[in-house]
Each structure stands twice: as structure tokens, then as C-alpha cells.
Amino acid sequence: MRGIATRLSRNGEKLVACLAMLRADEAHMQATFEAFFPGLLQAAAAWRADPDATFSGSGTAPAGC
């Protein structure tokens, strides 16, 4: 992360500053992502099959996000 932060033209210090918070909440973020990702894959497959299809999801983020 520090390497990425040094390459950012601005706000790199903010990325480094939030690492502790991200690490502390990593398990929750991982669980949320694992719950979200299968639906994303299904939606992407449906959109590839029919690019004119509209999104029929709830339009909201998972609980706790």
C-alpha cells in the first residue's frame, strides 16, 4: 500500500492513514463481498446475454455497508 500511496499524485497519505481501519474491518468487508459477488456475477452474465436488459435489483447496498 505504501508503494501505491507514494505513486498517487495526491491523497496518498490518506490511504496510508486508513490502513488500520481497513485491517480492523477486513473480516466484515470480506463477508459482505462474498455475499455480494455471486449476484454480481449473475448480473454480469445476464447483461452480457442481453445488453438492453435493465437492472432489477434492490439498488441498495448490503446491510452494514
Residue-number span of the structural domain to which 2 is assigned: 1-26
In a domain, 6, yes or no: yes
37 and 43 Cβ atoms separated by less than 8 Å: no
Q: Is residue 4 part of a domain?
A: yes
User: Based on the structure, what is the number of domains in the chain?
Assistant: 1
Give the percent of the chain with pLDDT over 90.
31
In a domain, 61, yes or no: no
Flag whether 42 is in a domain: no
| Amino acid 57: pLDDT | 59
pTM to 2 decimals?
A: 0.50
Per the domain annotation, does 10 fall within a domain?
A: yes
Domain assignment present for residue 12? The answer is yes
The yes-or-no verdict on residue 19 having pLDDT over 90 is no
Provide mean pLDDT across the span 27-41.
94
Distance CA 35, CA 28 (A): 11
Q: What span, in angstroms and rounded, lies between the C-alpha atoms of 63 and 37?
A: 14
| Max Cα distance, the chain (Å) | 43
CA distance 32 to 65: 8
Element (H, E) at 22: helix 19-24
